Amino acid sequence: MLFNSLQYIFFLPIVLFLYWCLPRRFRAVILLIASYVFYSAWNPVYLLLLIGMTIFNYLIGFVLKWAGHTRKWWLIFAILVNVGTLGYYKYAKFVLENIFGVMDFVHLPHDDIVVKIFLPLGISFFTFEFLHYIVDVYKGGEPERNFVHFALLPGFFPSQIAGPIKRYQDFMPQLKEARPFDMDNFEKGFVMVLHGLAKKILLADNLSIYVDFVYKNPSDFTCLELWLATYAFAFQVYCDFSGYTDVAIGSALMMNLCVPPNFNVPYMSNNIRELWHRQHISLSFWFRDYVYIPLGGSRCSVPAIYRNLILTTALAGLWHGAAWHFVAWGAFQGLSLIVHRQWMLFYKSIDWLYEFVKGKIWHAIAIFITFQAFAVSFVFFRADDLPTSFDMVGRMMKLWELWPDQHLKFLTSNGPMIFPMIPYVLAGLVIAHIISEPLRDMQFWPSRPRWMKGAYCAFLIIIMIALMPEEQNKFIYFQF
């Protein structure tokens, strides 16, 4: 069931009606049933996998609490089961393809095996929630005794498929509280749902048309067209995933429940470290807490710190997809973080440069440079393979060819109307990104009168209905 589908438009109000109208003691049960209906709408068979992993991790929580001196081995066993399950569904084909590739390279014979494994929706996200739970119980946290409450940690339908990744210490206490209906939160959640759908339907889905057009055959396009497609993909990812997150947070908020934020105007960051504190926040912090810090974090020698950064970001890239170009994208982020660290050491050693870096002029320049670097990294994320990625980046670096002699294909093709509008859409998104922080800080939207909010919501609904494509596009992060 997609958030941007008619099914969800009918599903959510029914769940909200039952949630608020039936007695409080039934709320958790209602949410769990609704969540399992939501998940089984995709493929009922894989609901058994979700339930099976839920039961296993529920029981292992008590084992870790009572196992005594064998607790460490039970933790290792639980991690292997969770990671092994994720690895089987997500990486079995990738591993076999690489093994066969090596065997072909050294001319070893092997049987051709076709691996057909469907990736269960949301498994990358709820596996990380399970891992977070068992590690924290091992460190001294109390296991959750209420199975329905525990089952809602991975099963809660707003965040079930693509996060945000919840932490049980923050989420489960909310299920135990007798939270009353809150009209302010309900209104805020409703607007967030509309904003999320608008980002997806009006922006991400339209940008994807041009991105797919260029990335299908990138060798046919000029340097300028490749840059436009890469900028378009950067904003497509942002609008698509932050749109999903807005719907998830808004749906939960209408039940007076909070899930963690995942985006904070990331493209206004003035360095790559800050960007990853604003972009996919719940995943970034998960890798920081459960990969980077256990590796030693920043409490070791400089070479070890850089090793930890590369390993953590490369694993984060591999989490996004079972392909080497995702690993390269992650490693690119690690190298960017290393460059940022070196830059900080350099400018802090020169007084006048240190003063300049603290100023507004450098702040604006740094935002521009950070976005360019992050956009270029998306070539590795979106391209089909590594050779294509390197070829595209190489051609994009030929800035002397930025303005071509020939006509631009996206202007002369018989493609959709969005093609010639791409530069204007991107400019509008940049402006919206710039002004969103000041508008948020001045509490612009909450201070508007209710009639204005109603008219705005009605306008969004009408324009989305008018421009909704015949077939709903899946959210990008559904594939992860």
Q: Give phi and psi for 476, each to the nearest 5.
A: -55, -45
- C-alpha distance across the termini of the chain, in Å: 16
Task: With beta carbons less than 8 A apart as the criterion, state whether 143 and 168 touch.
Answer: no
Greatest Cα pair distance in the chain: 73
* 3-state DSSP percent of the chain in helix, strand and coil, to 5: 75, 0, 25
Task: With beta carbons less than 8 A apart as the criterion, state whether 158 and 249 touch.
Answer: yes
C-alpha to C-alpha distance for 410 and 429, rounded to whole angstroms: 20
Q: Is 132 a catalytic residue?
A: no
Residue 150: C-alpha distances to residues 10, 133, 171, 396 (Å)? 27, 10, 10, 49
Task: With beta carbons less than 8 A apart as the criterion, state whether 310 and 331 touch.
Answer: yes
Neighbours of 450 (CB within 10 A): 8
| Candidate list 195, 320, 325, 340, residue with the active-site label | 320
Q: Which long-range contacts (CB under 8 A, 24 or more apart) does 137-144 make?
A: 137/61, 137/64, 137/65, 138/64, 138/71, 138/72, 138/75, 141/168, 141/169, 142/65, 143/61, 143/62, 143/64, 143/65, 144/58, 144/61, 144/168, 144/172
The tokens describing 256, both together, are: 């007076």
Q: Annotated active-site positions, please?
A: 320
